[in-house]
Structure 1
């Protein structure tokens, strides 16, 4: 992994009821790549992807509304999967990417990516879903794994809430061992859980997934919790033509733990999509 990363340029797209913060890089001949982060993150999450992908592609990485540097308090109505997907469709059109982008979503961002592909299929040249964790509509609701974290937040214990969430999705003792820039990013976005919990069991219609017209890549960390693998298995059943990639030496935060393998998997897929 590189020793450091430069701060990306910052832009704001005005929206009728707020603004969408994003960064972009690259002017390559390849079709654009849209990067959608997951929970407790923002566009800084993609620090090891943006410069590499930008060598051959225009790369667009938004901070979903409600995430840093948007400092308004939570819970907030616009912090919702469908609203985020609509924002991203607006962003691609505003940037004159009417022919669409290769869309990459991680964790909760994978559900946003799928919603974008469902709402505006013409804007998705391909879809990469990295460790999606959503429930399908024909499955029962599951216990909210971060309910304790939300309660800790409400009680004022932000650090305890973050530790509970991060260690659950990526393995015991992960939060303690994380680097400083990652901890700063997560702390900046901790309050988003107060909005996210309101749609914790938001389902995906299996029919919507099966009807995806674009090429699909399913990516999993070799050491990710088992629930993420079951989501990929179900998606593979619905989309038998989908490709799979397994990122060695990595758990849920695969693009950070093994960025070279993650970047190679995505770029190879995009090149053939």
Structure 2
């Protein structure tokens, strides 16, 4: 396994009303990594060095996430706003041929928004365990409403345990390594903002209009709800490819990084060859 870089280089892009923090590595066609809830660019510690061997990797912390120190709730902590930040990052860094976009969990919805708002910049799209609802589905209470109540009451550890065990499986929090727990603690307050848009849907017509190569990735042991999202996307987009990462659940890029990295890079290479 490629060893993670212990101290990732840090860059900052000034944006209206704040900044976007990101790290980058490598050269070649750019890959944009978009993390999910309670995370930041450190989430991709096993992907950054592996992908940077052949590509230019861009891994941002979504605005409002560590090391952003602005208090929550933040009214600008929204899927569409995150996508606009990343579009600005791509345009600032001058990627005329587009980027390979990879989004995990909530980051998959940001990735969808990126591809919808700037299709010229999205060369390929990888959605890992997307969790969003579609606009023809009813709203449901967010599963982490109790988590947010616990956070507001100052019960951070129990709140994080409940959230992580819900999205990845029972007893996950207890087994998690220290760096991961520290990262989620650093980002715990983001859930107070996130719940303000918990039922924001993806429009069916936007999803059906995607034309870039699409890979849908799931963990072999991921909770069933993530698979239902991939099933619907594949119905809408028959050209989409599917992959399952063995010996993993929702955090498949951490549980089985070799398989995840290989799957993603093979997909990107195949798409590149077909477009040549």
Query: If the TM-score is normalised by the length of the shorter chain, which range does it land in?
Result: over 0.9
Q: Which of residues 33, 36, 39 is equivalent to 1:38?
A: 36
Residue of structure 1 in register with 2:10 after alignment: 10
1:130 matched to 2:128? The reply is yes
1:5 shift after superposition: 3.8
- CA change 1:218–1:4 in 2 (3 A) is closer
1:105 matched to 2:103? The reply is yes
**Alpha-carbon separation, structure 1, partners of 2:16 and 2:3:** 40
Gaps of 5+ in 2: 272-276
Give TM-score scaled by structure 2 length.
Answer: 0.97
1:98 shift after superposition: 2.6
What's the secondary structure of 1:161's corresponding residue? helix
Residue of structure 1 in register with 2:63 after alignment: 65
1:19 matched to 2:19? The reply is yes
1:245 matched to 2:231? The reply is no
Q: 8 Å contact 2:2–2:50 — kept in the other structure?
A: no
1:3 shift after superposition: 6.3
Task: Kindly report the root-mean-square deviation, in angstroms, between the aligned alpha carbons of the 2 structures.
Answer: 0.9
Residues 212-259 of structure 1, C-alpha deviations (whole Å, 9 max, x = no match): 010000000000000000000000000000000000000000000000
1:4 shift after superposition: 5.3
1:60 shift after superposition: 0.2
Gaps of 5+ in 1: none
Q: Which of residues 91, 94, 98 is equivalent to 2:92?
A: 94
Residues 107-141 of structure 1, C-alpha deviations (whole Å, 9 max, x = no match): 00000000000000001001000000000000011
- CA change 1:2–1:52 in 2 (3 A) is closer
What's the secondary structure of 1:159's corresponding residue? helix
**Alpha-carbon separation, structure 1, partners of 2:96 and 2:197:** 30
- CA change 1:13–1:130 in 2 (3 A) is same
List structure 1 segments (4+ residues) > 6 angstroms apart after TM superposition: none
Q: Following superposition of structure 1 onto structure 2, how do residues 183-194 of structure 1 map, counting pairs within 5 Å?
A: 183-194=181-192
1:20 shift after superposition: 0.3
What's the secondary structure of 2:140's corresponding residue? coil
Residue of structure 1 in register with 2:82 after alignment: 84
